[in-house]
Amino acid sequence: MPTLSNRGNAMPESPIRKLVPYAEAAKKKGRTVFHLNIGQPDIETPQVALDAVKNIDFNVIEYSHSAGFESYRKGLAEYYNKINLNVSYEDILITTGGSEALLFAFNSCLNEGDEVIIPEPFYANYNGFATTAGVNVVPVTSSIDSGFALPPIADFEKLITPKTKAILICNPGNPTGYLYSKEELETLKEIVLKHNLYLIADEVYREFCYDGKQHFSVFNLSGIEENAIVIDSVSKRYSMCGARIGAFVSKNKKLVATALKYAQARLSPPTLGQIAGEAALKTPQSYFDNVVDEYVERRNIVIEGLNAIEGVKCPNPGGAFYAVAELPVENAEEFCQWLLEEFEYNNKTVMLAPAAGFYATKGLGKKEVRIAYVLNKDALKEAIDCLNQALNVYEGSLIRKENIKSI
């Protein structure tokens, strides 16, 4: 057969999805699997978005403009302006999910072999997009001990080379849930201006900020209009991940014109998803208030539950609906597989995402897992209990022997 490409071979498997076959096998055995491994929320999509899809009254599902429906772009600009991001609809390209927006950013800003600095742990698929675009990810490590705060400026500066073109952040963060402060954003501004870099901010979890904290966007920073790019998506905001609608947003007109060429090549973003996305702009504030309340309660169950387990450490995240926890095991991936293959408690088990795949530095995160708190509270309580039971009996558990002694 003809050979596969080197980059195809180098493409990482999704650490979120690669345990899927084990989960499927567990379910075939009749086991209930609590899915804490993937950010597919159970929250309902706003009715106004579902209704817009149900009420389509055209006879042809046509292409839209490559940049997306103008009416949607204008509506989205209004949404941004309500939260003081000062965006014109011409700054916006509607994309096929945040995924495509990030690919447009990588392709438009970086040449093959250029470098993007990303605080790790980071959303694992950034590796996939970087590999796709031939871009080298340079991780700057944040630590569970500081709750995954932005690493100090000196850590960034020692990584900057002539090939560094951009810094990419996710705020609030997947997988850590960390919400960057205004001061941390100002630090990033200083670095990108000094070194003439792009600052790409994945802000798809913007609405999910807790404990009275406010989201601070890269568009709230003045003086980096040419540098800042926002990656956005309706997936989490309106719990409509399957719509595959995102946005590439920048006030740098030449950059938007360049990204538009990538958009033209693929003709248009999904029409039906755009209809849902545009209608979702009418979602009432009460929807978000309820959702945020729900996530805070869920977060509290998960974080308190985890930290109550001996040997488990989990910082309290300020946003999104993820947390990274350190478990008392040497190899979390083996543990996650064992949970699905071998373990059951009342015929139930838990699926977690091993965190090593969220680090670019080899060897980091081996004891850590990402937990998405996207199940209802009762399920989360059961899942945490189940995890506790599992750590009690797992042979590789670093606390197990003590537990046995204490029995």
Judged by CB under 8 A, the chain residues 308 through 327 that form the site for a second copy are none
Judged by CB under 8 A, the chain residues 221 through 260 that form the site for a second copy are 226-227, 239-244, 252, 254-255, 258-259
Q: Confirm or reject binding of residue 110 to a second copy (CB under 8 A).
A: yes
Q: Confirm or reject binding of residue 161 to a second copy (CB under 8 A).
A: no
Give all strands of the β-sheet with 92-95 in edge-to-edge order: 92-95, 246-250, 228-233, 198-202, 164-170, 115-120, 136-141
Instruction: Kindly report each contact of residues 83-87 with a partner whose C-beta sits within 8 Å and lies 24 or more positions away, as own/partner.
Output: 83/206, 83/215, 83/217, 84/220, 85/217, 85/219, 85/220, 85/230, 86/219, 87/219, 87/249, 87/251
Q: Which residue, 125 or 389, is less far from a second copy as judged by CB?
A: 125
Q: Which of 11, 25, 296, 404 binds a second copy (CB under 8 A)?
A: 11
Q: Confirm or reject binding of residue 162 to a second copy (CB under 8 A).
A: no
Q: Which residue, 212 or 223, is less far from a second copy as judged by CB?
A: 223
Q: Which of 74, 90, 134, 149 binds a second copy (CB under 8 A)?
A: 134
Measure the CA–CA gap between 333 and 345, rounded to whole angstroms: 19
Judged by CB under 8 A, the chain residues 39 through 78 that form the site for a second copy are 40-45, 49-50, 53-56, 59-64, 66
Q: Confirm or reject binding of residue 25 to a second copy (CB under 8 A).
A: no
Q: Which residue, 71 or 264, is less far from a second copy as judged by CB?
A: 264
What is the closest distance, in whole angstroms, from the C-beta atom of residue 41 to a second copy in the complex?
Answer: 8
Q: Which residue, 206 or 244, is less far from a second copy as judged by CB?
A: 244
Q: Which of 71, 143, 264, 307 binds a second copy (CB under 8 A)?
A: 264
Judged by CB under 8 A, the chain residues 163 through 202 that form the site for a second copy are 165-166, 196-198
Angle at 72 between CA 69 and CA 73, to 5 degrees: 85
Q: Confirm or reject binding of residue 100 to a second copy (CB under 8 A).
A: yes
**Tokens at 134, concatenated:** 């031939």
Q: What is the 3-state secondary structure (H, E, C) of 134-168?
A: CCEEEEEECCHHHCCCCCCHHHHHCCCCCCEEEEE
The DSSP call for residue 91 is G
Q: Confirm or reject binding of residue 136 to a second copy (CB under 8 A).
A: no
Q: Which of 86, 88, 271, 403 binds a second copy (CB under 8 A)?
A: 271
What is the closest distance, in whole angstroms, from the C-beta atom of residue 245 to a second copy in the complex?
Answer: 8
What is the closest distance, in whole angstroms, from the C-beta atom of residue 322 to a second copy in the complex?
Answer: 15
CB 324 within 8 A of CB 144: yes
CB 173 within 8 A of CB 320: yes
What is the closest distance, in whole angstroms, from the C-beta atom of residue 396 to a second copy in the complex?
Answer: 27
Residue 202's Cβ-side half-sphere holds a number of Cα atoms within 13 Å equal to 30
Measure the CA–CA gap between 105 and 293, rounded to whole angstroms: 33
CB 132 within 8 A of CB 6: no
